[in-house]
Structure 1
Amino acid sequence: MLLAIDIGNTNVVVAVFDGEKIVHTWRIATDTRRTGDEYKSILLTLMNDEHISSSQIDKAVLSSVVPDLTGPFVSVASSFAGKKPVIVGPDVYDKLPIHLPEGAAHEIGTDLVCNAVAAWQMTHCANIVIDFGTALSITITDQNGSVRGVDIAPGLGTAVHSLSSGAAQLPTVPLVAPPSSIGTNTIHSIQAGIVLGYKGLVEYLISQIKTDLHKLTGVAPEDVRVVATGGLNSVLKPITDVFTHVDRSLTMTGLRLIAELCS
Structure 2
Amino acid sequence: MSAAAVSDCWVMVRRSARRTIRSRDTLVISLLLPILIMLLFVYVFGGAIEVEGPYLDYVLPGIMLLCTGFGASITATAVAADMSSGAVQRFRTLPMFRQALLAGHAGEGVLRNLAAVAIVLILALVLGFRPRAGISGWLTATAIVVLFVVAVTWIAVALGLLARSPEAAGGFTYAIMFIPYLSSAFVPTSTMPGWLRGFADHQPATAVVEGLRGQLDGAGGGVVAAGCWCLGLALLGYVTAALRYESR
TM-score normalised by the chain length of structure 1: 0.29
Larger helix percent = 2
Question: Is the strand fraction higher in 1 or 2?
Answer: 1
